[in-house]
Amino acid sequence: HHHVAIVGAGQAAARCAAFLRDSGFEGAITVIGDEPELPYERPALSKDTLTGTPEIGKLHVFEPAFYRNQRIDVLTGTHVDNLDAHAKTVTLHDGGRLTYDRLVLATGSRARTLSIPGLGDTPVLTLRSFADALRIRALLQPGIRLVILGGGFIGLEVAASAACLGCAVTVVEAGARVMGRVVSDLTGRWVTDVHRARGVAVKTGCAVVGASPCADGAVRVLLDDGTQLEADAIIVGVGGEANMALAQHAGLACGNGIHVDERCRTSAPDVFAIGDVASQFNPLYGTRLRLESWDNAERQAEIGAAALLDTLNHAPRLRADARLPDGFATDARTIPWFWTDQYDVNVQIVGRTAASDRVIVRGDRADGAFIVFHFIGSRLVGAELINSGRDRRAVRELVALGHADEAALGDVQIPLKNLSAA
């Protein structure tokens, strides 16, 4: 029997292990992760976990009994220190060594942080893990002054949660607008207005230059436009970095993440990489993408497991409970998809909107539900859906097709699914 080792015990790792078993793989499976928890999903960490009662059980990918029943060994609280891709071994932090036949790297990403001169001992918090969420939650008492550095998804979600809890929140974004890299100017402004209406101060186009202590144990944050903000706590949300040290030291090809091919194979034989850590060529956009999203973790877990099974001459069993309904073009699954929830606003980003040169708006912003389609030349490359999640499937298919009748896209009388079916 073969031994599959999966490093990282997050969402992608759990899904990959389950897919291997689901396909009838009988060998040993060991999942090794450095967090104390069994694999869990992170999206709620910046939302319900902060505003409601935090319970890890609600976030688990599978119930604890699942791993026993499926004979999946999960080593929690265990950091993998080293990978030897020639000897096919991984070394655990306690010195233990495991030999594998096939290895999956699912080590995810970590929150980038900032060093702020003059901050002294005031902790700068980031949000990646359940433990981080518990620490932040403990701080979010009504009336505390919270400064959030970074107006990306996580910063804005924490801002929304904190505002709901009665904190006085200021978001500081260095770029010209919030969520700058992924949404259009008009959606960025619209979301900013939503935050302002809830009492959150949003400052764009300014950076932190330093900090100094205040008398009451708080800290004064200094911005480059001269503004001084008093804060009881600072949270940084300035993006993520791939956890690829293991792969780099083992000599695997890496860039912004671990380089994988279309089947999640790395440059080392019998080693696969999936989820946030993987940088994969996307044929539709003609470039490598490293996606930090729930959907990408699900998808690559399945792709990587199928490729792994192939090397064992074992046919993967495509999921009977396929999440994707019949008729969903396979290509549409390669279209990135991400969502964010802030207050009662749901924003979904489909495709790649970053380099677009033109947008078309469908619907009326005043209604609080609209879609912004992004084009490069005549090619439809992506869209953001504001409170319009029910159109996601159709939009994903349209982006996979890459073209659409522009007049029809802008006409709310014409259902989008009619356009993608055409």
* Whole-number Å distance between alpha carbons of 12 and 298: 6
Task: For strands 278-282 and 168-173, give the pairing.
Answer: unpaired
Residue nearest to ligand FAD (CB): 10
Binding to ligand FAD, residues 39-98 (CB under 6 A) = 42-43, 45-46, 79-80
Of 242 and 372, nearer to ligand FAD (C-beta) is 242
Choosing from 5, 12, 171, 219, the residue that interacts with ligand FAD (CB under 6 A) is: 12
Q: State in angstroms the smallest separation of the CB of 350 from ligand FAD.
A: 11
Q: Say whether residue 9 binds ligand FAD (CB under 6 A).
A: yes
Choosing from 148, 169, 229, 297, the residue that interacts with ligand FAD (CB under 6 A) is: 297
Q: Say whether residue 154 binds ligand FAD (CB under 6 A).
A: yes
Choices 195-203, 290-298, 384-392, 410-418 (CB under 6 A): range interacting with ligand FAD: 290-298
Choices 26-34, 115-123, 162-170, 399-407 (CB under 6 A): range interacting with ligand FAD: 26-34
Which H/E stretch holds residue 131? helix 130-139
DSSP line for 43-112: GGGGTHHHHS---HHHHBSS-HHHHHHTTEEEE-S--EEEEETTTTEEEETTS-EEE-SEEEE---EEE-
Q: Say whether residue 171 binds ligand FAD (CB under 6 A).
A: no
Q: State in angstroms the smallest separation of the CB of 345 from ligand FAD.
A: 12
User: What mask of x and - would describe binding to ligand FAD in positions 316 to 345, judged by CB under 6 A?
Assistant: ----------------------xxx-----
* Whole-number Å distance between alpha carbons of 60 and 235: 25
Q: State in angstroms the smallest separation of the CB of 271 from ligand FAD.
A: 14
Q: Say whether residue 126 binds ligand FAD (CB under 6 A).
A: no
Angle at 141 between CA 61 and CA 344, to 5 degrees: 55
Q: State in angstroms the smallest separation of the CB of 35 from ligand FAD.
A: 4
Q: Which residues contact 285 (CB under 8 A, 6 or more apart)?
A: 352, 381
Could you tell me which of 89, 80, 100, 235 has the C-alpha nearest to residue 162? 235
| Structural contact between residues 60 and 40, judged by C-beta atoms closer than 8 angstroms | yes
Tell me the two tokens of residue 135.
């620490």
Of 328 and 339, nearer to ligand FAD (C-beta) is 339
Q: State in angstroms the smallest separation of the CB of 32 from ligand FAD.
A: 6
Conformation bin of residue 327: beta by default, left when phi > 0, alpha when psi is -120 to 50: left
**Can you list the alpha helix ranges (DSSP code H) found in 250-341?**
294-311
Binding residue count for ligand FAD, defined by CB under 6 A: 35
Using the 8-state DSSP alphabet, how is residue 257 labeled?
S
Q: State in angstroms the smallest separation of the CB of 383 from ligand FAD.
A: 16
3-state helix, strand, coil in the chain (%, to 5): 30, 30, 40
Binding to ligand FAD, residues 243-282 (CB under 6 A) = 243, 246, 275-276
Q: Say whether residue 128 binds ligand FAD (CB under 6 A).
A: yes
Residues that bind ligand FAD (CB under 6 A): 7-13, 32-35, 42-43, 45-46, 79-80, 106-108, 127-128, 154, 243, 246, 275-276, 292-295, 297, 338-340
